[in-house]
Amino acid sequence: MLDEQLKKILVCPRCRGDLEFHEDVQEIHCPACRVLYAIEDDVPVMLVDEAKPLSASRLQGRQGS
């Protein structure tokens, strides 16, 4: 589990926007950039270079256009 305080201060390194935490799949999503950041050993890998594209279908609760 990620530290609650850490989750509060973490922002997307690319857009500085809010993130969605999906710890069950060890991922942190940025809906604005449509990328995901991995969580490795409870450490978020918040590197733009390591971000992976997030397909629209994986954005939870944001269906539609």
Binding site for Zn ion (CB under 5 A): 12, 14-15, 17, 30, 32-33
25 vs 48, beta carbon nearer Zn ion: 48
Instruction: Report the residue number whose CB is nearest to Zn ion.
Output: 12
CB 28 within 8 A of CB 21: yes
CB 35 within 8 A of CB 20: no
| Beta-carbon-side half-sphere exposure of residue 42 (alpha carbons within 13 Å) | 5
In whole angstroms, the minimum distance from the beta carbon of 19 to Zn ion comes to 8
2 vs 15, beta carbon nearer Zn ion: 15
Q: Cα separation of 45 and 51, whole Å?
A: 8
In whole angstroms, the minimum distance from the beta carbon of 30 to Zn ion comes to 3
